[in-house]
Structure 1
Amino acid sequence: MVSQNESQHRDSEMTGTNQFDNTVALITGGSSGIGRKTAVAFGQQGANVVVAGRTTTEGDKTVRLIEDSGGSATFVKTDVTREDDVKQMVDHAISTYGRLDHAVNNAGNVGVPGPLAERTEDDWEYTMGVNLKGVWLSMKHEIPLLHESGGTIVNTASDFGHVGFEEFSLYVAAKHGVVGLTRAAALEVADQGIRVNAVSPGAVDTPMNRDRLGGSKAVQETFGPSHPLGRVGTPEEVADAIVWLSSEQSSFVTGQSLLVDGGYTAQ
């Protein structure tokens, strides 16, 4: 007996259409790095993409990349730590495209590294604001819209959401929180046909890491040896995992955190 998902996948192959055709995908932190590559990947596979981020110049650049590859996209300036901004973000998706099918809550930062006893309340608020509060606020406003069409949510956590790491205590706590929030939310909305998962990357050669460490070579030299595969990841590799978690190929997967970490947490 052929399942509905198998039938849809087979029909898509026969007609030459993409499974994300006529869907709408919202990507926070879509102005660079993993978020940009994810937005472009959705656009290339037929989705209408809402790119959310703090920087209009870089957000518009992501939109142009999607449009240049034949896709449709729009940018909305968003600070995910502010509920009014988040509500405006999802309202923009509806007013522009009329629906929401896939949400990728990717906005984040590395927080303020350093000894735990030396961190301040401001350090805590800065780290938790984007990495955890932003994910919660995004899901809060995305879920009611996804309820109308089923749909998927993928939150960007981290391998540090599964292990400890010295002098990154606030970031570790925030990303553990994202994993826990993902699991709890998945249980709440399963009966609405909504799947909620997380992707947990290891070290990735992103602009944020390059700026912090002084280029791609420095990122590789700093983090590559600690990964069993001997290198850091690429934004494209994480984007591929996010797209898979949003696709029919993962239709029986929810409440999970997919580690894309070159074997780091297997040690």
Structure 2
Amino acid sequence: MIGRLEGKVAVVTGAGSGIGRAVAERFAAEGAAVAVWDVNAQDAAGTVDAVQERGARSAAYAVDVADSASVGRAAARTLAAFGRVDVLVNNAGVFDHYASVPETSEEQWDRVLGINLKGMFLVTKALLPALLDGGGTVVNTSSISGVVAGGGGIAYTSSKHGVLGFTRQLAADHGAQGVRANAILPGAVETPMTRPILERGDAAVLETVRSVPARRHAQPPEIAHLALFLASDESSFVHGAGYVIDGGWTAL
């Protein structure tokens, strides 16, 4: 059977672990070549190994998405190696450990917004000409913190609300030019970024996870299934949408 992304080239940021790695592996299983972007070169190399085990072409690029020069270099190298980009998954992100305004330093605010929101802008800007050239798809990782409070601190929640606005405006600006943009809004997902929070046993967090209708947190491959849908032609009429995938958290 022909994969749903057969012949496509995908760039996945934050692909060294967690949701990003699961997305890279899922895309590879559906026939895509995958450029793995991550700030951690060793983690990125590990994802490349996993992708290549599925028979797909892949390469790793060490990228700081909050730095325009780093993004520019990675974009140039990716296009030189793969020749095109059909799918962009903006997944790189950091957490703020539920810090409130008084607990958040200016440096922490700049770091969280720089990676979670500015980084998305820089990567999209660098790759948009390639996406426009072939009619591409952008999938942005937001969070339930993009629509409600309580899933993170002030910086994280602000950044994830911004991701949803960025996605909608991107769709409005470039949908008619053949580029679709949509967002994924996960709830609690067990990843290397969130595992310390879950293992620490914060009572409020654990109680929230236990109280959602699904009665558990998600695993990264479950989020990757949704990313595949939004990246594929199966979602051809979906523009500017935000898909909540939270085990029912926001339904309560």
CA offsets, 1:17-40, max 9 Å, x none? 113121100000000000000001
Helix, strand or coil at the partner of 1:197: strand
Point out the more displaced range, 222-231 or 39-48.
222-231
> For 1:245 and 1:230, how far apart are their aligned partners in 2?
26
Q: What does residue 8 of structure 1 align with?
A: none
Give the C-alpha shift of residue 113 in structure 1. Answer: 2.8
Q: What does residue 146 of structure 1 align with?
A: 131
2:31 equivalent to 1:46 = yes
> For 2:41 and 2:151, how far apart are their aligned partners in 1?
35
> For 2:77 and 2:151, how far apart are their aligned partners in 1?
40
> For 1:234 and 1:95, how far apart are their aligned partners in 2?
34
Task: Name the amino acid aligned to 1:230.
Answer: R
**Structure 1 residues 88-237: aligned runs within 5 Å:** 88-165=73-150, 168-214=153-199, 221=206, 223-237=208-222
- Percent identity over the alignment is 37
Give the C-alpha shift of residue 224 in structure 1. Answer: 2.1
Alignment match of 1:263 (pick from 233, 243, 248): 248
Q: Do the aligned partners of 2:145 and 2:152 also contact (CA within 8 Å) in 1?
A: no
Q: Do the aligned partners of 1:220 and 1:232 also contact (CA within 8 Å) in 2?
A: no
Q: What does residue 77 of structure 1 align with?
A: 62
Return the TM-score normalized by structure 2. Answer: 0.95
Return 5+ residue gaps in structure 1 as ranges. 1-15
Return 5+ residue gaps in structure 2 as ranges. none
Return the TM-score normalized by structure 1. Answer: 0.89
> For 2:71 and 2:212, how far apart are their aligned partners in 1?
35
Alignment match of 2:20 (pick from 27, 35, 42): 35
Task: Name the amino acid aligned to 1:99.
Answer: R
> For 1:166 and 1:252, how far apart are their aligned partners in 2?
30
Give the C-alpha shift of residue 220 in structure 1. Answer: 8.8
> For 1:166 and 1:238, how far apart are their aligned partners in 2?
17
Structure possessing the higher radius of gyration over alpha carbons: 1
Q: What does residue 18 of structure 1 align with?
A: 3
Helix, strand or coil at the partner of 1:51: strand
Q: Do the aligned partners of 1:203 and 1:223 also contact (CA within 8 Å) in 2?
A: no
Figure out how many residues of one structure are paired with residues of the other and give that number.
Answer: 252
Q: Do the aligned partners of 1:209 and 1:219 also contact (CA within 8 Å) in 2?
A: no
